[in-house]
Amino acid sequence: MFLLMFLQLPAYSLGGKPGEIFEWGMGGRALGMGKAFTAAADDSSASYWNPANMPRLSSQEISMSHNMLWEGTGYDSLSYVYPTPFKKAFGVNLIKVGNDGFVGTDENNIPTSNFSVSDTAIKLGYGQFLSRSFSVGTAFNYLTRNVGVYSSSLMSLDLGATYFPDPRKSFALKVGNIFGFSSNTDDQLPLNLRVGYAQKFFNDKLTASFDYQFPDRWYSGFEVSLNPLFLRLGLNYEEMSTGIGYIFKNNYRLDYALAHNVDLGLSHRISFTFKFGTNIAREREKIVADAVLQGDQQVLNGKFNKALSIYESVLSFEDKPIASKRSQNMKVLIEQAELNDVPSKLSESENKAADYECKAVYDYMNNMLTAALLNIQQAISINSDNQTYKAIEAILKKEGAVITDEDLSPDTRVAMKLHRAISYFQDGKYDLAAKECQEVLKLEPDNVIAHMRLGSTYYAVGVKDKAIIEWRRALELDPNNTELQQFIQQAGEK
């Protein structure tokens, strides 16, 4: 009789209204912070508080919690989160609240036998980052309520989202118990909306967190890090709490919280958390690093579009902007310099220039602007008509690339002077072009290109005899150079 009367009570169980078990909180850390954990959750309890926060975890994590509540009521939970290298995570949360101390009576109010009342819930969650600063998640809730031999079930979905404008600040939204349905009861899990904000201060030594659940429940909490010791304080609409945590051997954490409810008095909460398995952050770094190496190799092979595709394949889950910076730089070159893959069939001189081009692009990918400028100018010195090379040079100079003599090896200094000589020549600055060629010949008296360009400079200003002397000297050094032979013939030398 008492059981029937209990079941006929309107929509209430151990936690009050149906689903209150999902609002009591989980974990000594969160409870010590006044249950203000919707935005702050960064451990396995995120599977309970906000599934959108589960991808924040850096390794697999399990947490076990035991709460000693009031009048012999116990509240226990177990949570597990499995994050993947691809900034996704799966989680499960088991919760049970119950009391075995109820006494049954018959219709005459004569005691019969004891019975138990309990709520058991499971949450299955999934979360993922949609960008570096925004994550979403969902959880399926299954609640079983038992009163003696009678039971009923309720189900629903949670949706969560978290925005991280920077690593120390987060805003969260959680909509609980949408699409609810039930079995063996007319009750439904009540829809709820909760928002949260958390921020770290003083080099992450202080965490402040605030939650608000509509229409009138508010939560606040603070945590001071004295690593490996943590001190906590919380205050919400119905209780005050304080807590302490201790991390040992890096992967284990013990948390204790003491709360005072204004109506029910003191309760104690304790939880144990441990991490295990591969560090997901390091695994992500390795995947990104491997992709970057593959992309860089494609750059050196002249397969620029393939390199861009490889860089972009890991953008969604990199923690540091390594691949994204390369992707951005490659797009600049493709769009502004009309960079194309190096053709497979090239002449010997074109192939040499293309090698310098590939090295220049590689240096640009690695933010080595001076080295990139040196290489692209070497490419220009070989093939001065290539507009892509000149466009790359302009981009590098616009981004601040400069070259000083200290940056140059002897061979590079020669190549640079030859590059300047042809640039001066094309601009009609023949005196400066001649000076650069003469300086090259002081360093390398038998440099064929320097003799050729010096001869062309003399010819351009009308000093034909000196031009022929330089060309003939170049032809002695390179007898098979048909271009030189044509120069001499055009100048009237037989």
Task: Transcribe 244-292 into DSSP letters.
Answer: EEEEETTTEEEEEEEEEETTTEEEEEEEEEEEES--HHHHHHHHHHHHH
- Which domains does the chain carry? 2-278 (2.40.160.60), 282-490 (1.25.40.10)
CB burial string 273-299: b at 16+ within 10 A, e below:
bbbeeeebeebbbebbeebbeebbebb
pLDDT, position 341: 96
Q: At what angle do helices 482-490 and 448-460 cross, to 10 degrees?
A: 20
pLDDT, position 186: 81
Q: What is the pLDDT along the chain (494 residues), one digit of tens a residue?
A: 333 333 333 333 444 567 778 888 889 999 999 999 999 999 999 999 999 999 999 999 999 998 776 666 788 999 999 999 889 999 999 999 887 766 666 677 777 767 678 899 999 999 999 988 999 999 999 999 888 778 889 999 999 999 999 989 999 999 999 988 888 888 889 999 999 999 999 999 999 999 999 999 999 999 999 999 999 999 999 999 999 999 999 899 999 999 998 888 888 889 999 999 989 888 888 999 999 999 999 999 999 999 999 999 988 777 778 899 999 999 999 999 999 999 988 888 899 999 999 999 999 999 999 989 989 988 988 888 899 999 999 999 999 998 776 667 788 788 878 888 988 898 899 999 999 999 999 989 999 999 999 999 999 998 988 999 999 999 999 998 888 888 888 876 54
Looking at residue 405, the DSSP 8-state letter turns out to be G
Which two tokens mark 444? Answer: 């390398």
Burial class (CB within 10 angstroms; exposed 0-12, middle 13-18, buried 19+) of 140 = middle
pLDDT, position 10: 33
Beta strands 150-166 and 134-147 are antiparallel
pLDDT, position 177: 94
178 membership: H or E segment, kind and range: strand 169-183
pLDDT, position 11: 35
Which two tokens mark 104? Answer: 């049954």
The number of beta carbons lying within 10 Å of the beta carbon of residue 340 is 12
Looking at residue 345, the DSSP 8-state letter turns out to be -
Which two tokens mark 19? Answer: 């689903």
CA dihedral of 469, 472, 478, 483, whole degrees rounded to 10 = 110
| Distance from the Cα of residue 222 to its chain's centroid | 27
pLDDT, position 1: 39
Query: 150 - beta bridge partners?
Result: 147
CA angle 357, 359, 362 (to 5 degrees): 110
